[in-house]
Amino acid sequence: MIFVRNLTRGKNGFKTEFGLRHIVTVEQPPKDLKSTPLNRRWPSNVCSSTKTVTVFGGTGFLGRYVINELCKLGLRVRFPTRATDNEWQHLKVFGEVGQVVKCDFSLNNPETFLHAVQGSDVVVNLLGTNMETRNFSLRNVNVEAAKLVAESAASTGVPKLVHVSCLGADKNSRFHYYQSKGSGEEAIKKAFPSATIVRPALLYGWEDKLLRELARLHFLLPVLPLWNGGEQKMRPAHVHDAALAISSMVCDEASAGKVFHLAGPEVYTFKQLHEILYEVLREKPNMLSLPASLGRLLMRPQEWLKQKIPFPLPASPLLTSEFIDSIESECLPTKDEIDGFAEYSITQRQLNGYTIDYLAHIVQVVIHMEPNNRRDANLLAYPVDKSPQTPQSTESISKAIAKCILVFLKYNAIRQHWKELVENISHATQNMAHMEKLVERSIWHETQNMA
């Protein structure tokens, strides 16, 4: 069956043809294209390229933008995923019919990697995580999965591989997250020496887990924690700019074997990001400086529960020890890395201004979700009071510390309750097995007496 976008009316109306399931409209291309109005011509972004790009991690935050840019270039995109249909349906509308194709794969099955990269001209690896789960650790995703992608691409003869890591990746780092990213880069280079390494900074955008999550936590927590005072320096970049640079590297043969960084145009501290957030939300700053070691201590019960409970916990990605590790060190580019934005002449978006105005919608969503903790709606109509803020009193700080201690004790109580529940279940199963043996014996004795 044939699907077309633009319809032209002939003498006898539209020409239609009945298929097996759908009514298909067939149109003949115009003979004289110059005499046809612009709004009646055939679409210019029809997939005419024979090159196929396989994108691992295409359903993620950065992946959807990368697939969109590749489809604009007319490339055929194949994205392996284990997600459900509702999580990748939005990717199909990025290109023409048949331009974006989904295939199934599993991290525990190396054969699915070979099937995904078969016949590809370029492979883009966006697989990565900064949160450990019950089934997959940081090493499973950041190291072993990256190694499988590189080995599969090398064995099937794929000419080009683009691996997306993170800024600050180092196998000798004292932080587990950066260590796993650095080990993943080393595995990629060993299996595919001509691979292109891309190290993006923290990315922000409409679906990000940085600024949007900070805005959500502002309305859910009494104070926002600033680990080590929030003096860590970073250069956040917009996700659309990063996707544009990665798509340019895919089409550039000279990028093979190089290491690029995708850092934003300006340097911010984590505290300055909070201040920009409060200015957009038109709220008064409410932050509390806490040591990073205390934050890791408070996250331990949550991490222990993640490893034991077979279902995901409703936890914030910013309240994890991995995120504390990722912002505790200053992630700035080095001299050995090439600026990807300057290499491909990409003008970056500025963090201040209309770029992050979407955060104002978080206010309405959270107020709708939390009717008992509504904020004054008039705060949205007046600018932020930029007068110097007085330091927080010792009473408010003590209240915040007391709340943190209560949360820690609550997690310990849940842990103890979970242990007792597991012990009760084990005792119940033992009793059931004992009862089954008694019933079997009684039945056997009755059969013997009847005999």
Amino acid at position 171, single letter: K
pLDDT for residue 245: 94
Instruction: For residue 307, give the 3-state DSSP assignment.
Output: helix
- What pLDDT score does 45 carry? 47
The residue ranges of the chain whose pLDDT is under 50 are 1-46, 365-394
Please write down the long-range contacts of 257-260, taking CB distance under 8 Å and 24 or more positions apart. 257/193, 257/194, 257/195, 257/196, 258/196, 258/197, 258/338, 259/196, 259/197, 259/199, 259/336, 259/337, 259/338, 260/196, 260/197, 260/198, 260/199, 260/337, 260/338, 260/339, 260/340, 260/343
Q: How distant is the alpha carbon of residue 283 from its chain centre?
A: 28
pLDDT at position 416 is 66
pLDDT digits (tens, 9 = 90+) for 325-360: 777 776 778 777 888 999 999 999 888 766 677 776
pTM score, two decimals?
0.69
pLDDT of residue 404: 66
